[in-house]
Amino acid sequence: MASRGGRNAPDRYEEQRANVLNDLVNFSNFKIVSTKKKGGRGGRSAPPPYEAEDEFEYTKPVKRKVPTVEQSFLKDQRGSREMIISTIDGETTKKLRKSFERRENRSKSRLKKMEEAGTGSNIQPRNTSYIPGSSESNGSLGSTSDTSDYQLHSKPSTSTSASSNIRQMRKPLPSVALMADRYGISDTAAACLASATLKDFGLIIKADLSTVVDRNKVRRSRLRSRSRLVADAKALQMKLHALFFDGRKDTTLITEKKGDKTHQRRIQEEHISLIQEPGSNYLGHTTPNSSCAASIKNSIVSFLRKYGINSVDLIAVGCDGTATNTGAHNGVVRQLEILLQRPLQWLICLLHNNELPLRHLIEGIDGKHTGPSSFSGDVGKQLQDCTKHPIVEFEPILSPSLPVVDKQDLSTDQKYFYDILQAVVSGCCSDDLANRDPGKISHARWLTTANRILRVYVSSENPSENLKILTKYIVLVYGPMWFNIKIHHSCLHGAKHLFDIICLIRNCCAKTQDIVKPVIQRNAFFGHVENMLLTMLMDSNGERRFPQTAAGRRSQQVFKQK
């Protein structure tokens, strides 16, 4: 019987079957759907045009081409599986194998040390686990090789195991942590250096490895040290008793924006460093808008307020003796007193007070300087080429003996100054001293200027009158006072240094005294009452000595009456 479509049902069935087989040959997807429909609840379904048991309805497959990268993976998944190392996991397998070998070597090394120390009585051999990519694995994850290793068999409740015989490093390492932070050393490097030092001193032996320092020990010590320093800094900042500040002009790189472009240029910027005393704790630095006293004062006050540093307990301020800092009406210290509405104790740099008379003496006798490293007088013009002249016989200048100092604590210029002072006093200058460099000329550092003046004197057969005056002042006053201040640099000795310089000036000529005395009078800050009492009531160690002095006994009586 012919079907509705004009063709017999077997022909249509054969055509569909051929299409399915063709798709199977071409590795195409197909969907098998049964054409038999179950009758609904409300009636029977229509009979199919051709009833057959193996009739299928074919749906056209979606063409999805497998990427080239995934073809090898699909072949591996659909093919027969074998434990082989393919090219896909080769790099990862090498890394895993090396990591496993390193762990095994470390384990063997530790156990070998324990055996040598005599603590390996409970060590028993065991088989190693699977090493990825090794030839002994035979392509199986569960198989084990014949390579033997050692394993510690210990019970948690017993104390006789090998692991319990190794003591841990319990000693803190604050100094190692501090040095590692100061010089930027890593935890591993610091641990290696500490362990190597202990080994050289014989504190690390094979029988006792408890003193070995590892990087985790250093890391924990650094964290504790940093936390302690932060806590100490906050505690110190809460009570500020003495504030010292000093400034200098530094070259700073800044970025400026002009239109759509940015440009970099270098500027000279004033930086003020703030130090807390006692203890010389660095608080930080601030940048004032200008170099005037009001701007410096405002920047210091803003810094203290920004970091929450209380100035209620501030009793002393220290700085250089420049007019900007020590002006009687508009100086930085005076403006701080006006702001706090109470007087402060002025602790002015002693070395700066010792340099000011020498500077005024050079300018008063030889003439003012004409540049940052040049002078206008006859003596000043000889300073630049002083080392080119040979040493000649010169007249020694008698002077009180210089204080004994440790030359290891002196810089190169200071050592030269100490040696040439002794040469001028003794009247004999060695060739080695004559060939040494006295230092560069700088009006911010008058020590090198004094070195060159003495060098000119030892190479002059007939020195001028001005050169003799300058040399005598350096040998009799400036030199001894410089080294006395270097040794006794505390503010407790400020009034005593002022008294000593007044006594030494009496040995100079009248012309020198007329120039120097007004300078000392204007800068006699340690002649103030509070600084005089500080020297009288405190000993050299900073301890009170009320019972030992008459002034102390009178002060105690006044306190009792009040």
Classify 249 as helix, strand or coil: strand
Phi, psi values for residue 239, rounded to 5°: -125, 105
> How high is the pLDDT of residue 1?
46
Whether residue 77 has pLDDT greater than 80: no
CA angle 336, 340, 346 (to 5 degrees): 50
Rounded distance, CA 46 to CA 41, Å? 14
**pLDDT above 90 coverage of the chain, percent:** 2
**Mean pLDDT, range 441-464, rounded to an integer:** 85
Is residue 490 domain-shared with residue 385, that is, in the same domain? Answer: yes
Rounded distance, CA 444 to CA 373, Å? 10
Classify 448 as helix, strand or coil: helix
> How high is the pLDDT of residue 526?
83
> How high is the pLDDT of residue 64?
64
Would 262 be classed as within a structural domain?
yes
Choose among 375, 530, 345, 343: nearest CA to 441: 375
Is residue 196 domain-shared with residue 253, that is, in the same domain? Answer: no
Length in residues, the chain: 562
Would 191 be classed as within a structural domain?
yes
Evaluate whether 240 touches 310 at the Cβ level (below 8 Å): yes
Is residue 378 domain-shared with residue 519, that is, in the same domain? Answer: yes
Q: Which residues contact 336 (CB under 8 A, 6 or more apart)?
A: 297, 300, 301, 317, 344
Is residue 501 domain-shared with residue 394, that is, in the same domain? Answer: yes
Would 133 be classed as within a structural domain?
no
Would 540 be classed as within a structural domain?
no
Would 398 be classed as within a structural domain?
yes
Would 57 be classed as within a structural domain?
no
> How high is the pLDDT of residue 84?
58
Considering only the C-alpha atoms of the chain, give the largest distance between any 2 of them, rounded to a whole number of Å. 152
Domain boundary among 300, 333, 348: 348
Is residue 294 domain-shared with residue 340, that is, in the same domain? Answer: yes
> How high is the pLDDT of residue 25?
52
Rounded distance, CA 147 to CA 128, Å? 6
Is residue 378 domain-shared with residue 516, that is, in the same domain? Answer: yes
Q: 428: pLDDT confidence band, cut at 50, 70 and 90? A: confident
> How high is the pLDDT of residue 85?
53
Would 384 be classed as within a structural domain?
yes
- Tens of pLDDT, residue by residue over 258-273, are 888 888 888 888 888 8
Is residue 502 domain-shared with residue 432, that is, in the same domain? Answer: yes
> In the predicted model, what is the mean pLDDT of the chain?
75
Is residue 210 domain-shared with residue 281, that is, in the same domain? Answer: no
Q: Which residues contact 553 (CB under 8 A, 6 or more apart)?
A: 546, 547
Rounded distance, CA 270 to CA 273, Å? 10
Any idea what the CATH number is for the domain that residue 271 is in?
Answer: 3.30.420.40
396: containing domain = 371-527
Is residue 250 domain-shared with residue 216, that is, in the same domain? Answer: no
Tokens describing residue 296: 């410096």
> How high is the pLDDT of residue 128?
45
Q: Identify which has the larger pLDDT, 61 or 470.
A: 470
Tokens describing residue 198: 């202990």
**Mean pLDDT, range 426-440, rounded to an integer:** 85
Is residue 395 domain-shared with residue 491, that is, in the same domain? Answer: yes
Is residue 398 domain-shared with residue 379, that is, in the same domain? Answer: yes
Rounded distance, CA 424 to CA 475, Å? 8
Would 30 be classed as within a structural domain?
no
Number of folded domains that form the chain: 3
Is residue 245 domain-shared with residue 380, that is, in the same domain? Answer: no
- Tens of pLDDT, residue by residue over 348-372, are 888 888 888 888 888 888 877 777 6
Evaluate whether 295 touches 288 at the Cβ level (below 8 Å): yes
**Mean pLDDT, range 394-413, rounded to an integer:** 83
CA angle 550, 554, 560 (to 5 degrees): 145
**Mean pLDDT, range 505-525, rounded to an integer:** 87
- Tens of pLDDT, residue by residue over 100-148, are 899 888 888 888 887 777 644 444 444 444 444 444 444 443 434 443 4
DSSP 372: T
Least confident interval from 61-75, 114-128, 434-448? 114-128
> How high is the pLDDT of residue 429?
85
> How high is the pLDDT of residue 123?
46
Q: 323: pLDDT confidence band, cut at 50, 70 and 90? A: confident
Whether residue 295 has pLDDT greater than 80: yes
Q: Identify which has the larger pLDDT, 6 or 496.
A: 496
Rounded distance, CA 382 to CA 466, Å? 13
